[in-house]
Amino acid sequence: MSEMKHFLSPWHVIDEERDWVVCEFRNRMRNPGDGGVHEVYNNAKLHYAGRGQFNSQRDAYD
């Protein structure tokens, strides 16, 4: 079972000239029982290939 239950994206930017989408993902883990929210942030740059598909993704973690 995956510990990452949610993949939230609080913001994104679309660059139509370069076919890029830049966004932040919040990879939220399941609650381990302590009532807290445990998540890891990363920024991603995705290259749009057309027809609703992306052909590459680069991630940067904090």
Which one, of 31, 38, 36, 41, lies nearest residue 9 by Cα? 41
d(CA 43, CA 16): 18
pTM score, two decimals? 0.72
pLDDT tens series, the chain, 62 aa: 567 667 789 999 999 999 999 999 988 888 888 988 888 899 999 999 999 999 999 999 87
Q: Provide the 10 A C-beta neighbour count for residue 27.
A: 16
Per-residue burial over 29-49, b = 16 or more CB atoms within 10 Å of its CB, e = otherwise? eeeeeeeeeeeeeeebbbebe
- Residue corresponding to tokens 């290259």: 47
